[in-house]
Structure 1
Amino acid sequence: MTKLRWGIKTAPQHTTYEAMLRVWKEADEHPAFEHAWLFDHFAPIQGDLDGPCYEGWTLLSALAAQTSRLRLGIMVTGNTYRHPAVLAHMAATLDVISGGRLDFGIGAGWNEYEHESMGIPLYKPGERIRRLGEACEIIKRLFTQHLTDFDGRYYQLKQARCEPKPVQKPHPPFVIGGGGEQLTLRVAARYADIWNSTGGDVETFRHKVQVLHEHCAAVGRDPSEIELSVQLRVNYDDLQATTEAVRAFVEAGATHLVLMLTYPYPEGIVSKLADEVVSQFS
């Protein structure tokens, strides 16, 4: 059986820093879990819009400094929120802080309220995804080159530096989220080490994987180089239902499994998930 890699996600909305830290430390100490995630939003995307929502990258730095084993990342960063050269510096710094544990997650961005409320341009979908492709190329170059020049349609760099470089060589793994079949999956085929499906049922997932593999063939990429990732919300009241939902995606080819936890987090939830969900796949 293909090795499954298990992780948790604590969306930093309607929760507290202390509660997330407790769960992350528990996961860091449990060998069943390999990775942990936050999201990149500036207001809650579920529930009351007025509730708390922590900024993902600064929170991730704090959690990186207080864990030692977990791989960690943002699933996924909205490219429109930050210039890609600035984001590259943030990611490289976090890889250093964490001792080389960053999985670099990025997507095109989509949330209308956040863009409109903060005056950040929300481009048409095609432009957002083309910008994502340029961003991936810029960040990859900044991670690996001493000086970077880039004359793109949307971004231009002149003798740009990114020091220190990430600990991981040649660079941290790229995690690309999104399911757009014509453009997003083409970007994933070119740059992703992990592709994260953005929801939908198992049949939709199977179809997207097929499209991703077609794009891989078009760009000369071996599709087996791209790990297939899904996020599934944990039902605290019915962990068997959670297990069966995971099983369907595993049978469809997913190997990078993110269990999404909602606040309040039950005491000992990480160990319980290991015992009652993860163990069913060993």
Structure 2
Amino acid sequence: MKLGLHYWNFSNPAEPAAIAPTLRETALVAEQAGVASFTVMDHYFQMDQYAPAEEPMLEGYTTLGYVAALTQKMTLGLLVTGVMYRHPGLLAKIVTTLDVLSGGRARLGIGASWYEREQRGLGVPVVPVAERFERLEETLQICLQMWSGKGGEFNGAHYQLTEVLNSPAAISTPHPMIMIGGGGEKKTLRLVAKYADACNLFGTSKEDLAHKLDVLREHCAAEGRDYDTIVKTALVTRPALVDPDAWLAEVESFAALGITEVMTMPDRNPLEFANGLAEKILPRLASI
């Protein structure tokens, strides 16, 4: 079982001058301890159902570029990129840039986006949910075409590209891993089956995960996709350090379903949290 650290909060400490040193030290401790992936959110306001929107938030890909320069092993990505925030052609270039500068460690985590407060606040177009999923599918098609090296044009309902050029090519082969986040049964998991290398589900319970994976298996059958070729990951909502025994037991139950990577979120100062993972979680996780 692999462990990912999802760095979702920049409020501890909240002083702007302390954010970068804390991020740096947390990433270094995490990588040295054996954390496999490092992710941040694709938000510009903090999520207001968890904390005040005014709390500190950094732009995701800039943050990952900083972490890439500090680390050597961890996979880097957003959990997950909001499809409305970047034009698909530019997104493919951004992820390629991260992949090249990190030595092939970029992962495209992507979803349909949802946080309308920040979209309206910053002037991002707000479109109906059905259109967001149409745009998500076209974005996946554009990224795959750009990473194929074949060039040409792309003519979709929402995006038109006259020159699909991407140089330099990504280092990851055949391209950076595409991870689609979310558990929507009609649209999201269908897109996973059709386009993605990995899925990311909310690890709320073993029963819920089992159901989502059954739905994914059905979509794979409909798409002619080998279900076993998709990497299954889960964001574990249970705090890892409050009760490590309970957390590890839950993760072990997820592993039995075929989950091979779990992500955990700091519930305290992130450097303290990373040290706690190194001491209490990672030595035991290796046996799962």
* TM tier, smaller: over 0.9
Which secondary structure state, in structure 1, belongs to the residue aligned with residue 109 of structure 2? strand
Which residue of structure 2 lines up, in the alignment, with residue 21 of structure 1? 24
Which residue of structure 1 lines up, in the alignment, with residue 6 of structure 2? 9
Which residue of structure 2 lines up, in the alignment, with residue 179 of structure 1? 183
Structure 1 residues 236, 280: CA separation in 2 closer, same or farther (over 3 Å shift)? closer
Which residue of structure 2 lines up, in the alignment, with residue 36 of structure 1? 38
Q: In the TM superposition, what are the counterparts of 1:82-121 in structure 2 within 5 Å?
A: 82-121=86-125
The answer to whether structure 1 residue 241 and structure 2 residue 243 are counterparts is: no
Q: In the TM superposition, what are the counterparts of 1:1-282 in structure 2 within 5 Å?
A: 4-15=1-12, 16-30=19-33, 32-45=34-47, 46-233=50-237, 234-265=239-270, 267=272, 269-281=273-285, 282=287
CA contact (8 A) 1:14 1:263 kept: no
Which secondary structure state, in structure 2, belongs to the residue aligned with residue 160 of structure 1? coil
1:150 aligned partner, one-letter code: F
Separation in 2 of the partners of 1:182 and 1:78? 19
Which secondary structure state, in structure 2, belongs to the residue aligned with residue 257 of structure 1? strand
Deviation (angstroms), 1:21: 1.5
CA contact (8 A) 2:2 2:261 kept: yes
Separation in 2 of the partners of 1:113 and 1:141? 32
Separation in 1 of the partners of 2:141 and 2:271? 41
CA contact (8 A) 2:30 2:278 kept: no
Which secondary structure state, in structure 2, belongs to the residue aligned with residue 100 of structure 1? coil
Deviation (angstroms), 1:249: 2.0
Please give the per-residue CA displacement for 1:56-104, whole angstroms capped at 9, x wherever unaligned.
Answer: 0101011101111111111110011111111111110110110001111
Deviation (angstroms), 1:53: 0.4
Structure 2 unpaired stretches of 5+? 13-18
The root-mean-square deviation of aligned C-alpha atoms, in Å, is: 1.7
Which secondary structure state, in structure 2, belongs to the residue aligned with residue 81 of structure 1? coil
Separation in 2 of the partners of 1:203 and 1:25? 35
Separation in 1 of the partners of 2:54 and 2:256? 39
Which secondary structure state, in structure 2, belongs to the residue aligned with residue 69 of structure 1? coil
CA contact (8 A) 2:104 2:172 kept: yes
- Range with bigger deviation, 171-180 or 119-128: 119-128
Structure 1 residues 87, 255: CA separation in 2 closer, same or farther (over 3 Å shift)? same
Separation in 2 of the partners of 1:115 and 1:201? 31
TM-score for the superposition, normalised by structure 1 = 0.92
Separation in 2 of the partners of 1:90 and 1:34? 21
CA contact (8 A) 1:71 1:103 kept: yes
TM-score for the superposition, normalised by structure 2 = 0.90
Deviation (angstroms), 1:121: 2.1
Which secondary structure state, in structure 2, belongs to the residue aligned with residue 148 of structure 1? coil
CA contact (8 A) 1:79 1:135 kept: yes
Identity of aligned residues (%): 34
Separation in 2 of the partners of 1:5 and 1:236? 17
How many residues align? The count is 277
Please give the per-residue CA displacement for 1:203-253, whole angstroms capped at 9, x wherever unaligned.
Answer: 121111111111111111101011111112434332223223323322332
